């Protein structure tokens, strides 16, 4: 089975592990096309080469780089004619120009087509995007939806083909796990044995990882943190236009000494960063043109034994399940109460850590997502590939 995948998301090194897992499945010959970078003005990302074994990675020029609706790959036709895939997996939204052009190329060589979508808002687009979307929905052999609301959106828009609820990427528990933090080296007093003062409670290490933009709700987190009692620290990792405003907010809230802002890290460094946290907060806010579609940092954190605490916004509760805590979207008081509970209840923290990592093993490994994706290819072609099972739990039995 020759598979061609078009994916700007796969420039991220950690995401490429899914590609290695797919390529390792017997009978799969995988070629992946990526751009040299994705120039989103709010969060530009360059190609990382981390997990590149077993498949061909082609770096191809991209026009209108950074424009989600209008970007496309001018050399894609030549690649398609050379590879002549049985399946063309288009890792783009159905209304994008790149998806429309790629699907036309796939049909020109008789390839089956799979299109991926995160879109969880029912949005109506003007021509020509509505025309391209209609063409894609008419001709795609299968859709992959990253969350349940996305599946509902495309059904309401008239797609009648198979929709499979499969996240775009998972995590590898062999890479994402909690590293041991070195013990803090303090001064040793010669009067140590004379002191009877009880040891101080370690501070709860609260974290946020992601873009520093208004819709991510960081000001909700800062306000909630300012009302906590007991020992805590807050680490914010990321880049974006809101950084300066948020830094100033920590000052007038009087919490600046407890808050650190860290620069964006390569994806391969994140397990080490997560290992320094006790709880990860994702306080996203729904906006007319955006709603949290998954929150990948949630599963990365859970894999590293970090407790997840997220707003009941978009797909966040769906991802966390019963393995973490949630709070009402934009509700400072409820977020403060949940954080305070974690400061005060050590046994709750330990229980949630264990449940989080187990949830990742049960639902969100790269290996399971890879196998379920290839199973979709097999269904389209009417083929069977050795080693592909139908249930996620069966695929993860060996991991457990």
Mean pLDDT of the 357-380 span: 94
Q: Are residues 357 and 369 in the same domain?
A: no
Distance of CA 179 to the CA centre of its chain: 21
Mean pLDDT of the 194-201 span: 50
pLDDT at residue 8 above 80?
yes
Q: Are residues 330 and 390 in the same domain?
A: no
pLDDT bin (cut points 50, 70, 90) of residue 377 is very high
Closest residue by Cα to residue 216 from 208, 205, 206:
208
User: Can you give the chain as a three-state secondary structure string?
Assistant: CEEEEECCHHHCHHHHHHHHHHHCCCCCEEEEEECCEECCCCCCEECCCCCCCCCEEEECCCECCCCCCCCECCCHHHHHHHHCCCEEEECCCCCCHHHHHHHHHHHHCCCEEEEEECCCCCCCCCCCHHHHHHHHHHHCCEEEECCHHHHHHHHHCCCCCCEEECCCCCECCCCCCCCCCCCCCCCCCCCHHHCCCCCCCCCEEEEEECCCCHHHCHHHHHHHHCCCCCCEEEEEECCCCCHHHHHHHHHHCCCHHHEEEECCCCHHHHHHHHCCCCEEEECCCCECCECCCCCHHHHHHHHCCCEEEEECCCCHHHHHCCCCEEECCCCHHHHHHHHHHHHHCHHHHHHHHHHHHHHHHHHCEHHHHHHHHHHHHHHHHCCCCCCCCCCHHHHCCCCC
Q: Are residues 385 and 279 in the same domain?
A: no
How far apart, in whole angstroms, are the C-alpha atoms of residue 130 and residue 134? 6
Q: Are residues 235 and 216 in the same domain?
A: yes
- Residue 205 in any domain: the answer is yes
pLDDT bin (cut points 50, 70, 90) of residue 110 is very high
Q: What is the pLDDT of residue 386?
A: 57
Mean pLDDT of the 224-251 span: 96
CATH code, domain with 316 = 3.40.50.2000
Query: Does residue 128 have a cis peptide bond before it, meaning omega lies within 30 degrees of 0?
Result: yes
Mean pLDDT of the 14-21 span: 94
Q: Are residues 295 and 357 in the same domain?
A: yes
- Residue 83 in any domain: the answer is yes
Query: Tokens 């997220």 correspond to what residue?
Result: 310
How far apart, in whole angstroms, are the C-alpha atoms of residue 74 and residue 71? 10
Q: What is the pLDDT of residue 84?
A: 97
Rounded to the nearest 5°, which phi and psi values hold at 144?
-105, 125
pLDDT at residue 185 above 90?
no
**Domain tally for the chain?**
2
Q: Are residues 60 and 125 in the same domain?
A: yes
pLDDT bin (cut points 50, 70, 90) of residue 213 is very high
Domain containing 216: what range?
A: 200-361
- Residue 187 in any domain: the answer is no
Q: Are residues 336 and 390 in the same domain?
A: no
Percent of the chain with pLDDT over 70: 91
Residues 244-292: tens digit of each pLDDT: 999 999 999 999 999 999 988 888 899 999 999 999 999 999 998 889 9
Mean pLDDT of the 123-133 span: 93
Q: Are 43 and 211 in contact (CB under 8 A)?
A: yes
- Residue 176 in any domain: the answer is no
Q: Are residues 148 and 284 in the same domain?
A: no
Residue 280 bridge partners (DSSP): 207, 308
Q: Are residues 244 and 156 in the same domain?
A: no
Q: How confident is the prediction for the chain on average, in pLDDT? A: 90
- Residue 195 in any domain: the answer is no
Higher model confidence: residue 200 or residue 58?
58
Q: Are residues 228 and 311 in the same domain?
A: yes
Q: Are residues 230 and 165 in the same domain?
A: no
Q: Are residues 311 and 389 in the same domain?
A: no
- Residue 186 in any domain: the answer is no
């Amino acid at each position: 089975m020759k598979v061609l995948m078009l994916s700007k998301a796969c420039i991220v090194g950690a995401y490429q592990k899914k590609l290695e897992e797919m390529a390792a499945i017997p009978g799969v010959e995988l070629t992946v096309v990526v751009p040299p970078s994705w120039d989103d003005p709010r969060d530009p990302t360059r190609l990382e080469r981390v997990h590149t074994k077993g498949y061909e990675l082609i770096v191809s020029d991209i026009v209108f780089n950074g424009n989600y609706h209008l970007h496309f790959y001018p050399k894609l036709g030549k690649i398609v004619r050379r590879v002549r895939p049985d399946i063309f997996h288009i890792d783009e939204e159905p209304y994008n120009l790149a998806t429309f052009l790629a699907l036309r190329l796939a049909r020109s060589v008789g390839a089956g087509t799979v299109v991926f979508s995160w879109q969880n808002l029912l949005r109506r687009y003007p021509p020509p995007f509505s025309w391209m979307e209609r063409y894609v929905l008419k001709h795609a052999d299968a859709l992959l939806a990253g969350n349940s609301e996305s599946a509902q959106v495309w059904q309401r828009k008239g797609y009648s083909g198979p929709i499979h609820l499969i996240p775009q990427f998972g995590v590898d528990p062999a890479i994402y796990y909690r590293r041991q933090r070195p013990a803090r080296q303090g001064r040793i007093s010669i009067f140590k044995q004379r002191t009877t003062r009880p040891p101080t409670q370690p501070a709860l290490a609260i974290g946020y990882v992601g873009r520093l933009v208004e819709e991510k709700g960081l000001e909700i987190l800062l306000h909630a943190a300012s009302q906590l009692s007991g020992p805590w620290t807050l680490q914010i990792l990321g880049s974006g236009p809101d950084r300066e405003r948020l830094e100033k907010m920590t000052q007038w809230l009087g919490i600046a000494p407890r808050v650190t802002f860290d620069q964006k890290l390569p994806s391969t460094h994140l397990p080490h960063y997560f290992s320094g946290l006790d709880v990860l907060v994702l306080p996203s806010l729904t906006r007319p043109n955006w709603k949290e579609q998954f929150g990948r940092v949630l599963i990365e954190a859970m894999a590293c034994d970090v407790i997840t605490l997220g707003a009941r916004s978009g797909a966040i509760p769906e991802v966390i399940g019963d393995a973490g805590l949630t709070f009402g979207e934009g509700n400072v008081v409820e977020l403060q109460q949940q954080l305070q509970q974690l400061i005060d209840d050590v046994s709750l923290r330990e229980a949630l850590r264990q449940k989080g990592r187990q949830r990742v093993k049960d639902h969100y490994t790269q290996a399971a997502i890879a196998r379920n994706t290839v199973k979709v290819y097999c269904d389209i072609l009417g083929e069977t590939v050795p080693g592909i099972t139908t249930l996620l739990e069966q695929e993860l039995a060996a991991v457990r």
